[in-house]
Structure 1
């Protein structure tokens, strides 16, 4: 039985949401996973400190996932690796404006970062995942069309809905795939993005995300679940 290995892509997380990625990396290390995580650029982050303390079980790669050539370069560097889990975590928000007031450049930036970039990583690195492995993407219940009864956060909601739809397209093109495909809702988490009134701390959300990932292993098909393992309506 080969060691469990996972790729956590954290390249395009904004400053306010970075705690989710390192938190998940630390939780997976605690659960005896070997982890490859990514950061933007070459600057030192808390992930590097975590890697130094991990005894070689966490390695940090550089990646800007909105740049296709960097995604390809990472795939080449990992070409001889087999991953049990590919988990892509990327999200930004640029304010709460009605969609008609959103500048075109902001619309493009959010859609590329939250939907196109993650799916490029899935398409490129997906072949490295073992037949019994898992491909997961961090989504949100704000991407649920049926749950949107209050409105607000138009662009962020639309970007997460687009991500969900693109994962559905990926699943449809790989209908014979034996791997688990996950869209994960971590809950409303108290980061700068989530705000101080959010329901969950990172420490409360991340263990549930990791537990759900582990429990879904070996269950092929696409699943949209929250950090408690409950189904999120489309």
Structure 2
């Protein structure tokens, strides 16, 4: 009897994370997914209909103690995929010098430092032939930044990409796949109503691209179509 592969999704109460949980369930995976706070979310409804294949864990990703507690609760579990999705947005038109120090810190901690803490502290749960993936964005590409805008958000995703490259450099010889994924501009609460893609266009593609990368060591930066994004 085959054992279903297991994914842990960090940040799955709504939007892309929620859709990812549903997508992996539809593919026969066992899903662990985190939410902030104790309130009921759409993810809980998905869990109710999952026949026990979706388990929910509380997590405040920016709290190191909470991350360590989650690691301890999951001790002994083997993950085939760790996917860090959680992020926050920042205004499109604001120059970096126009945001407060507190807002700059909030975005950088949530979008760059927080995900890397997850990778560092939970990465040991991933099987030697598994995958660690982080939701990035084409806005994090330095090469593609020809229009400006979204300065703090761009900076946070560029920082995330650089930190993942540093992580990969420290993992020489590791057989696990590492991925930075651009889901495209998607119509979610964060992406807004003017976005060019629906969730049903983005997320199946993200899952397909990740599946195609499984078993291939090293770090890659690609979009929901599986196409390489320039650094």
- One of 200, 203, 220 as aligned partner of 1:206: 203
Distance in 2 between residues matched to 1:25 and 1:2, nearest whole Å: 18
1:52 aligns with 2:53: no
Q: What do the CA deviations read for 1:164-218 (whole angstroms, capped 9, x no partner)?
A: 0000000000011100000000000011321222110111100000111111000
Deviation at 1:74, TM superposition (A): 0.2
Does structure 1 conserve the Cα–Cα contact (< 8 Å) formed by 2:90 and 2:150?
Answer: no
1:188 aligns with 2:185: yes
Deviation at 1:94, TM superposition (A): 2.6
Q: Which shows bigger deviation, 184-193 or 132-141?
A: 184-193
- Normalised to the residue count of structure 1, the TM-score between the two structures is 0.96
Q: What do the CA deviations read for 1:144-170 (whole angstroms, capped 9, x no partner)?
A: 000000000000000000000000000
- Which residues of structure 2 form unaligned runs of 5+? none
Deviation at 1:3, TM superposition (A): 2.3
1:3 aligns with 2:25: no
- One of 117, 120, 128 as aligned partner of 1:120: 117
- One of 131, 141, 146 as aligned partner of 1:144: 141
- Normalised to the residue count of structure 2, the TM-score between the two structures is 0.97
Distance in 1 between residues matched to 2:160 and 2:67, nearest whole Å: 18
Distance in 1 between residues matched to 2:3 and 2:27, nearest whole Å: 15
RMSD: 1.0
Does structure 1 conserve the Cα–Cα contact (< 8 Å) formed by 2:6 and 2:79?
Answer: yes
Dislocated runs of 4+, deviation >6 Å: none
What are the within-5 Å matches in structure 2 for residues 9-28 of structure 1?
Answer: 9-10=10-11, 18-28=14-24
What are the within-5 Å matches in structure 2 for residues 48-87 of structure 1?
Answer: 48-87=44-83
User: Secondary structure of the equivalent of 1:193?
Assistant: coil
Deviation at 1:87, TM superposition (A): 0.2
User: Secondary structure of the equivalent of 1:130?
Assistant: strand
Distance in 2 between residues matched to 1:216 and 1:59, nearest whole Å: 25
